[in-house]
Amino acid sequence: MTRHDATLRRRRRRALLRVRIVVAGAGALALALLLVAAVLELPEGPLGLAEEAAAQLAHTGVDHAVTAVLLNYRSYDTWLEVGVLLLAVMAIFALRGGAHLENVRPAPRRDPLLTWLTRLLIPMLTLTAGYLLWLGKFAPGGAFQAGVVLGAAGAMLRLSGTPSLDRIGDVAIRILLAVGFLAFLVAAVATRLAGLDMLELPPGRAGDIILMVETLATISIATTCAVLVMAMPGAESPPAIAAKDVRKEART
């Protein structure tokens, strides 16, 4: 490559960059203006279905509107979202080269202080998770929050080298992961078989059913979070796809 070519190339790159900045900047600005104008033009007053959702709250089995929406009014959406979590785990398994954790070696024991701290924190985290789960009936809380806290406990066990999910068998892990999705599935099939609308909860027993489904969902969410941390590419086991290849592919 001659010097002349190099100069040309540099100029070309600069010109392209300029075009990009101008276009992207103008576009982003215009989009932002559009959104602001749209929001300013929104109708005044109480938003959407909040009032109606509150009005029907007595028939939902829970006292907190958000939980009612998530697990009664729109439980179908929540079911699909739990499905998203299951899919995330499957995607991780796909990257690792198998739907099993047997080649995850136990983490080396770290320093004793961490172990001590873990021992102290795990019961507290578990308790918090249970509280959050139960709280969902009346106040902000519920399966997702509880699941993440419980999952954090699992991850912590793993990071400190204490026996954790990796001691649980392959089949059991899969059951724990799927149990949330299955809970909704069973509810859907059972309600159909009982002659109700799909996923319709009879008002009298709605509270219990919701708590049960939420508990199972919490278990799945917690397991999912813990497995995500355990099975990450950073963990000891070699991932199915060599990072070297990925780098090479990314450059092309």
Partner 1 sequence: MTALLFDVLLALMLTVLAWRVVTTRELLQSVVLFIAYGLLMAIAWTRLDAPDIALAEAAIGAGLMGVLLLDTAGELRRRHGWRSEGGDDDTA
Partner 2 sequence: MNHLLTLAILLPAIGSLAVFSRFIGARASGVVCAVAAAPALLLGLFASTMEHDVAWMLLGATFGVDPVSRIFLIFTGALWMACGLYSASTMRSDPRRSAYFFFFLLSMTGNFGLLLARDVGAFYCFFALMTFAAYGLVVHERGAGPRRAGRVYIVMSILGELLLLAGLIFAVAAGAGIDMADFASGVAAAPNQELITALLFFGLGVKAGAIPVHVWLPLAHPVAPTPASAVLSGAMIKAGLFGWIVMLPLGWSPAPAIAPLVVTLGLLGAFGAAIYGALQRDPKTILAYSSVSQMSVMVVAIGAGLMAPDRWPLILGALAIYACSHGFAKGALFLGVAVAKQAAGRDMLRRMTMMGLALAALTIAGAPPLGGAIAKKSLKAAAAGPESPSGDALALLIPLTAIMTTVVLGKFILVMAGAMRTNEGKSAVRLSPWMAAPWLTLTLGAAAAAWLIAPPTEPMTDAPQPTIPSLSAGDALAALWPIALGVLVLAITMRLARSLPKAPAAPAGDLLSLYTLASRATVAAGRRTRLPGPARWKLDFVPLVLDSIEQSRRGETLTNIERAMKTWPVAGAVFVMIVITLAAMIIL
Partner 3 sequence: MIEPMAWCILAPFIGASLAFLLPGRVWRRPIAIGAIGATLASVWMLTSQVWNSGAQRMDLSGWPAPLGIGLAADGFSVFMIVMTGVVGSLIGAYALWHYSDLSDATEPAERRLFWPLWLILWGSLNAIYLSSDIFNIYVALEVITLAAVALITLSGKAEALVAAMRYLLAAFLGSLSYLMGVALLYATHGALDLVIIADQERAGLPEVGAFALMATGLALKTALFPMHFWLPPAHSKAAAPVSAILSALVVKASFYVLLRLWFGVFDGPAMYAVGILLGTLGSAAIIWGAFQALRQMSLKLLIAHSTVAQIGYLFLIFPLTARRPSGELAAAGWITEACTGVSYHALSHALAKAAMFLGAGVVLHVYGSDLLTNMRGMSRRLPITTFALAIAGVSLMGLPPSGGFAAKWLIVTAALGAGQWWWVLVILIGGLLTAGYIFLMLRWAFISEDAPIQLRPANMPIQLAALALALLSVLVGFRLEEPFQLLVIGDPFPIFDLP
Q: Which of 11, 59, 105, 205 binds partner 2 (CB under 8 A)?
A: 11
Q: What count of other Cβ atoms lies within 10 Å of the Cβ of residue 17? A: 10
Q: Give 58's contacts (C-beta < 8 A, 6+ positions apart).
A: none
207 lies in the binding site for partner 1 (CB under 8 A):
no
> Which residue of 62, 64, 67, 96 would you call a contact of partner 3, by CB under 8 A?
96
Binding window for partner 3 (CB under 8 A); candidates: 109-117, 118-126, 150-158, 188-196: 188-196
Instruction: Kindly indicate which of the ranges 53-61, 104-112, 201-209, 243-251 contains the residues binding partner 1, using the contact rule CB under 8 A.
Output: 243-251
Three-class SS state of 74:
coil
Residues 10-39 that bind partner 3 (CB under 8 A): 34-35, 37-39
The CA-based angle 102-181-84, given to 5 degrees, is: 80
Round to whole Å and give the CA distance between 237 and 243.
13
Closest CA to 201 of 49, 8, 62: 62
- Which of partner 1, partner 3, partner 2, none binds 39 (CB below 5-8 Å, type-dependent)? partner 3
Kind plus residue range of the DSSP H or E element containing 46: none
Q: Are 146 and 218 in contact (CB under 8 A)?
A: yes
Can residue 212 be called a binding residue for partner 3 (CB under 8 A)? no
Segment interacting with partner 1, rule: CB under 8 A, options 38-46, 188-196, 207-215, 231-239: 231-239
Nearest Cα neighbor of 225 from 180, 184, 182, 185 is 180
The interface with partner 3 within residues 138-167 (CB under 8 A) comprises none
Question: Among residues 42, 108, 204, 234, which is the contact residue for partner 3, using CB under 8 A?
Answer: 42
Residue nearer to partner 3 on the CB measure, 125 or 209: 209
Residue 145 interacts with partner 1 (CB under 8 A): yes or no: yes
Helix (H, G, I), strand (E, B) or coil at 251: helix
- Sketch the per residue contact string, 227 through 246, with partner 2: x for CB under 8 A, - otherwise: --------------------
3-state DSSP assignment of residue 148: helix
Nearer to partner 3, 109 or 192 (CB): 192
* Nearest-angstrom CA–CA distance, 204 and 49: 24
Cβ-contact 143, 218 below 8 angstroms: yes
Binding residues (CB under 8 A) for partner 3: these are: 34-35, 37-39, 41-43, 47-49, 52-53, 56, 72-77, 80-81, 83-84, 86-88, 90-91, 93-99, 171, 174-175, 177-178, 181-182, 185, 188-189, 192-193, 195-201, 240-242, 245-246, 248-250
